[in-house]
Amino acid sequence: MKYTITQLAKEFQVTTRTIRYYEELELLHPERNESGRRVYSKRDMTKLKLIFRGKRFGFSLEEIKEMVLLFDQDRSGRKQLECTIEYGTKRIEEIASLIEELEVMKNEMVKLKDEFARKLIMIGD
């Protein structure tokens, strides 16, 4: 199946400029039809799914590029899976650390809010 840039943009809810940007980064390699317009393959569609999933999970563009390019280099998928596991493990650790920091911040804010509420009650008396 072949897709136009407009169809892909609509499917992923992005601009056509975004898709052309990924083409500039050499993540996508559309063919051209007889009138010179870009025509994207099912493979390009799959790559875009990987790119947008990677962005959603907070991977860097460089990490995403490496994972997507492995999609082309290793037909078995083994290298891509190993790389994804490596980057995924690192990202999970970053997220866990962020959650810890946010929990500490939340607890401090709850204490301050409670303290301020007590002060407000004392002022009201």
Question: What is the CATH number for 57?
Answer: 1.10.1660.10
d(CA 15, CA 58): 20
| Identity at 115, one-letter amino acid code | E
Residues 6+ apart with CB under 8 A from 3: 11, 39, 40, 41, 44, 45
What range defines the domain where residue 43 resides?
Answer: 5-124
Q: What is the pLDDT of residue 1?
A: 85
**DSSP-derived 3-state class of residue 40:** strand
What is the value of pTM for the model shown?
Answer: 0.78
Confidence of residue 71 (pLDDT cuts 50, 70, 90): confident
- Predicted confidence (pLDDT) per residue in 100-111, tens digit: 999 999 999 999
* Residue linked to tokens 């492995």: 70
Number of H helices, E strands in the chain: 5, 2
Q: Count up the domains in the chain and report the number.
A: 1
